[in-house]
């Protein structure tokens, strides 16, 4: 079975500090991993994905994520947080046997304080 | 990235009425669309997969007769909540992945969501 876990409901960070939003996955086979961001009352926006290749993936708005196979993790990171980064972040893994099915984590609310 | 448009963004209706939500892919053809439901402070729950020209595939526990899905063209899927009740109040989000895009690696593109409130 495929699943992702986001262990933190909420992450608080001061503006200008680095941020990390954690995600671990469980999948048989090679994982296709994604990060999305959701602003209040809006749909999800794609940030980045890992399919294959370099473990460090760079995405939109200065975000990056590091794929770690041994730790089965795909943590989202940003060197310097902005107040405008405050939003809900979802990690997702694509189904191995059903390519159409994406499994989303429970979401992590990021609060960046000035 | 691709654009998926969803309408209406907000709808308020009386209990017992039916509500239709549209999801359109604006700059690509979407052979497959997905409908999600999001509860407050919760993750997204996949309701059904909408396939152009064929019947939708519903997830376990989702009532087919309550949530009617139609995907009549490559750019439009509709979700109709029939005989809506207050417990159907939620945030409904559609997503799509185009036929041209790599089926195995393509990300989903999401609509802006529709907030349904049933009085």
By CB atoms closer than 10 A (0-12, 13-18, 19+), residue A6 is buried
Checking if the pLDDT of B102 tops 60, the result is: no
What residue in A sits closest to B102 (Cα-Cα)? Answer: A99
Please give the average per-residue pLDDT across B60-75, as a whole number.
92
Of the residues A49, A52, A100, the best mutation for testing chain B's interface (the one with the most B CB atoms within 10 Å of its CB) is: A100
Please give the average per-residue pLDDT across B86-113, as a whole number.
80
Size of interface A-B (CB pairs under 8 A): 54
Cross-chain Cβ contact A102/B91 below 8 Å:
no
pLDDT in tens, A33-70: 999 999 988 888 999 999 888 999 999 999 999 999 99
- Of the partner residues B34, B107, B112, the one whose CB lies closest to the CB of residue A46: B107
- The better pLDDT of the pair A102, B114 is held by B114
* B67-73, strands of its sheet edge to edge: B4-7, B19-25, B76-81, B67-73
pLDDT in tens, A65-99: 999 999 999 999 999 999 999 999 999 998 777 77
Cα A90 from chain centroid (whole Å):
6
Checking if the pLDDT of A100 tops 60, the result is: yes
- Of the partner residues A32, A90, A101, the one whose CB lies closest to the CB of residue B43: A90
Cross-chain Cβ contact A42/B112 below 8 Å:
yes
Please give the average per-residue pLDDT across B35-64, as a whole number.
88
The answer to whether B44 and A102 are in contact (CB under 8 A) is no
The C-alpha angle with vertex B21 and arms to B18 and B22, in degrees rounded to 5, equals 145
pLDDT in tens, B45-57: 899 998 888 889 9
Checking if the pLDDT of B106 tops 80, the result is: no
Non-local CB neighbours of B80 within 8 Å, separated by 6+ positions: B18, B19, B20, B21, B67, B68, B69, B70
Residue B99 pLDDT level (bands cut at 50, 70, 90): low
Residues in B closer than 8 angstroms to A43, CB to CB, are 4, 6, 93, 95, 110-113
Residues in B closer than 8 angstroms to A90, CB to CB, are 43-44
Q: A41 and chain B: CB distance < 8 Å anywhere?
A: yes
Residues in A closer than 8 angstroms to B49, CB to CB, are 100-101
pLDDT in tens, A25-35: 998 888 899 99
HEC per residue, B54-90: CCCEECCCCCCCCEEEEEEECCEEEEEECCCCHHHCE
Residues in A closer than 8 angstroms to B113, CB to CB, are 41-43
- pLDDT attached to residue B101: 53
Cα A66 from chain centroid (whole Å):
10
User: Residues of B near A (CB-CB distance < 8 A)?
Assistant: 1, 4, 6, 9, 32, 34, 41-44, 46, 49, 91, 93, 95, 97, 103-105, 107-113, 115
Pairwise CA distance, residues A69 & A48, whole Å: 17
Residues in A closer than 8 angstroms to B115, CB to CB, are 41
- pLDDT attached to residue A97: 75
Residues in B closer than 8 angstroms to A101, CB to CB, are 46, 49
């Amino acid at each position: 079975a495929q699943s992702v876990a986001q262990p933190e409901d909420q992450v608080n960070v001061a503006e200008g500090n680095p941020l990390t939003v954690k995600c671990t996955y469980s999948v048989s086979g090679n994982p296709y991993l994604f990060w999305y961001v959701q602003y209040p009352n809006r749909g999800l926006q794609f940030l980045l994905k890992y399919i294959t290749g370099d473990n460090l993936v760079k995405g939109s708005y200065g975000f990056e994520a590091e794929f770690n196979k041994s730790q089965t993790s795909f943590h989202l990171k940003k060197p310097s947080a902005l107040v405008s980064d405050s939003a809900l972040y979802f990690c997702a893994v694509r189904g191995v046997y059903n390519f159409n099915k994406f499994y989303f984590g429970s979401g992590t609310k990021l609060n960046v304080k000035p | 990235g691709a654009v998926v448009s969803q309408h209406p963004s907000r709808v308020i209706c009386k209990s017992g009425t039916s509500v239709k939500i549209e999801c359109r892919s604006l700059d690509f053809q979407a052979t497959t669309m997905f409908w999600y439901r999001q509860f407050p402070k919760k993750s997204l729950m996949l309701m059904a997969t909408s396939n152009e020209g064929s019947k939708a595939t519903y997830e376990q526990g989702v009532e087919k007769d309550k949530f009617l899905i139609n995907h009549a063209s490559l750019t439009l899927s509709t979700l109709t909540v029939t005989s809506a009740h207050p417990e159907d109040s939620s945030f409904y989000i559609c997503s799509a992945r185009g036929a041209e895009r790599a089926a195995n690696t393509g990300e989903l593109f999401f609509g802006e969501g529709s907030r349904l409130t049933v009085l």
